Amino acid sequence: MRALIGLLLVLAACRADAAVPVCKSTTFETVAHIVCSVPRDALIELHLRASDGTPLGQFDVLEKSIGQPLIMAMNAGMYHEDRSPVGLYVQNGEAVSPLVTRPGPGNFGLVPNGVFWSDGKQVHVTETLRFEEMDVTPEFATQSGPMLVIEGALHPRFRSDSNSRKRRNGVGIVDDKVVFAISDAPVTFHHFGRLFRDELGADNALFLDGSISRIYAPELDRSERGSDLGPMVVIVDAP
């Protein structure tokens, strides 16, 4: 009898875990956001081009290309007009474009920027110069900028009185979780950084892009379309 009760408890726990949503809607300082959270060792992938070399561009094309349902997807870094990545991009251990360490124009060049990457076991968000010092060979990596949160501190260039407001998306590390977020309304960098630090508890978080930011979250009935994207990050296995 005790063994049967134990088995029932295990099965109940498994069902409870399976019911935990990957993505949810949340409000931070009156602004709605979508937040998606999975373990750092979840099956997370980056995708850019189809097998024939053409950019994937859209979430539905991406899903058909990989041949399995997407749990979540969003744009994952800045790109040029031909959809090639700005800065470091590594997919399946192969570097497509190199790390950029110098300051430059636009959000990407607003240093410190950073890298979202996997060592093949779990994912990380690391400031660019620190990533360069580590001399690692990532399984996947996408560089973007600016960093939103750096070791618990907001990016030094963020201003609470900024009037630059855009829809934004990013990724952060919270203990043993990787957390993706996208705002449902235009927000400042200062607001978005505080979302990750103060609301979500991320010590390190990276801005992925703004204005064109989109998400595919079927459990929330969200499948956003627009102009073709460059790099995309996907969760392809439920936690």
- Please write the tens of the pLDDT for every residue from 121-161: 999 999 999 999 999 999 999 999 999 999 999 999 999 99
Q: Distance from CA of residue 31 to its chain's centroid?
A: 19
Please give the angle made by the CA atoms of 152, 158 and 160, to the nearest 5 degrees. Answer: 105
- Please write the tens of the pLDDT for every residue from 185-226: 999 999 999 999 999 999 999 999 999 999 999 999 999 999
For residue 134, report the phi and psi dihedrals to the nearest 5 degrees: -70, -25
Query: Which DSSP state fits 139?
Result: S
What CA–CA distance (Å, rounded) separates 174 from 219?
22
**Residue 172 neighbours by CB under 8 Å, 6+ apart:** 125, 148, 149, 178, 179, 181, 196, 200, 202, 203, 204, 205, 206
